[in-house]
Amino acid sequence: MSPEAHAENAVQNPLLALVPDRKQLEHERLQRVAARERQHSKRKRSRSASYDASASVDTEEQSTKQARITAPSQRYTPVSSADRFWNGAIKATHNRYSRAARAGTRLEQVLLPATSAHACGLQRVMMASYDVDIEWLESIFPPDIPITYIGNPPPAHHGGVPAGLYRSDLHGNWEMAVPFRPHARALQHMKFLLLFFDTHVRVVISTGNLTPLDWSRYENMMYIQDFPSTTQAHVCTCGAGYSSYGFLAQLERVLSSLSIPPNHAAMQKLHEYSFQGARAHIVASWPIQSVARGWSNMEEAGLSRLGHVARALCPTIEPSLRMEAQGSSLASYDRRWLEQFYLLACGYPTSILPLTSKRTENPSPEFVQAVGIQDWPPIQILFPTQSYVVHKSVEGRQGGGCFFGKPDDFHRRQLRGLFAQPISERGHLLIHAKSILVTNDTYSNGYVYLGSHNFTRAAWGTVSGTPEHPTQSLSNWELGVVLPLSHKDAWDAILYQRPAQPYGAHDAPWDANSLAA
């Protein structure tokens, strides 16, 4: 079936109406929070949209800020119509609490030169998000451009919807793709945009949902790279990239995992562009029915895929390698999962995995032998404390509704020594961005990850089995990129002040569920 015939046969269904009204939900949430705040305290915090968050960073915190190893290029500079990111770039999303010089990029600017009134060569859009505000997006994109939105399958109480493509009953140019869920835990958490122009395709892999909340109030980041059409490749100044790692093949695999058929117009249009200058390595996760068996299958996605890329970027194993993981949700951590994550993320050979020792609070003998330490893996988990959210963050408790910290598990497992409080370089803004930094003492070896993966099993998966028969389970759709520290913009992915402040004796992770208490 041709793409045109496929589009004509897209099911007519008012599915977009099933997407929650994010604006109304947020309004209702803020009303509930405000009511609780009035009950908790007579002291009410007042902030305006012009508040300069960076002005509130304590002098003591400023004095502990480490100088950036590689100066940021143009992380906070908004995208302009003339920009073409042939070599890739990392950009911060717009934040209304930052001063103008560090305000970041709005979603409307990502689409440039296209505007809400003029396509300016934009021919098609494909995008994915965990949360979405359709009305807001409709006000940003030009009319009549074919748009495919990939979201979560509607909740079961809507009767369930089979995997497939569903055209909007209100806007004929919009369709929603519902991916096949191999199990009930499967969650579509990827965040990306593919903007197909006549001269290039812009690939945007983001940490923020397609909502005003994530593009104006939380700290989020995105990786952008433009790829020229095959007829325009001669104008690209990017040179050779990492094409041997199959950026296009990985991108197609991601879309296939989301149930986008091979004959979809967007899938076919990808082959009209040259991806030879790809600078980033795609690392994705997608849910599977049972488990992936054997490293060749496991390394297609999840933690095993990260390990595959890490071994290429960190060919020399160094005992000094350490890891920092930043996110907006935490997991119930155990020592074995953390040990295996560290070994794979730092490029250790798969021959020592999976760790077969029983899950206890003691280090596994295999880990001790490989790394040479008896303590917890050198991992720092960055997550806001309860005190920070309530007393220092720009929006206080009201702004903590999207951060889930599992404080009970934190206390039960005595993980305090692994945790640190991240503080944005733009001030006291809550960081929704997800990142991983792997580096050594001299910052001469390592990489950064930026994307949708939180530091959780659901996002990265779990490696199990035996060394002879390894397996990996995966729950979520996730998407991110890995850049070596040698990339000129790699350090721009790390938007918190370093070194981060370790948790104090009375600190505990913030958890949004406390708002319902």
In the structure encoding, which two tokens stand for residue 208, read together?
């923020």
User: What gap in Å lies between CA 486 and CA 258, rounded to an integer?
Assistant: 32
> End-to-end alpha-carbon separation of the chain, Å?
54
User: What gap in Å lies between CA 432 and CA 464, rounded to an integer?
Assistant: 30
- Dihedral over alpha carbons 341, 489, 250, 446 (to 10 degrees): -30
Any idea what DSSP says for residue 449?
A: E
From the CB of residue 165, how many other CB atoms can be counted at a distance below 10 Å? Answer: 21
User: What gap in Å lies between CA 333 and CA 322, rounded to an integer?
Assistant: 18
User: What gap in Å lies between CA 498 and CA 382, rounded to an integer?
Assistant: 11
Identify the CA nearest to 484 among candidates 427, 445, 511: 445
From the CB of residue 238, how many other CB atoms can be counted at a distance below 10 Å? Answer: 20
CB-CB contact of 174 with 144 (8 Å)? no
CB-CB contact of 496 with 326 (8 Å)? yes
- Is 434 marked as a binding-site residue? yes
For β-strands 501-502 and 200-206, DSSP reports them as unpaired
Identify the CA nearest to 473 among candidates 350, 278, 300, 302: 302
From the CB of residue 203, how many other CB atoms can be counted at a distance below 10 Å? Answer: 25
From the CB of residue 221, how many other CB atoms can be counted at a distance below 10 Å? Answer: 25
432-448 exposure pattern, b = at least 16 Cβ within 10 A, e = fewer: bbbbbbbbbeeeebbbb
Q: Which residues contact 156 (CB under 8 A, 6 or more apart)?
A: none
User: What gap in Å lies between CA 10 and CA 173, rounded to an integer?
Assistant: 11
Instruction: List active site positions.
Output: 189, 432
CB-CB contact of 202 with 478 (8 Å)? no
User: What gap in Å lies between CA 454 and CA 433, rounded to an integer?
Assistant: 9
Residue type, 237: T
CB-CB contact of 451 with 480 (8 Å)? yes
- Is 488 marked as a binding-site residue? no
In the structure encoding, which two tokens stand for residue 389, read together?
């959210």
CA count, 13 A, side-chain hemisphere, 78: 16
List, as residue ranges, the binding site for substrate.
191, 434
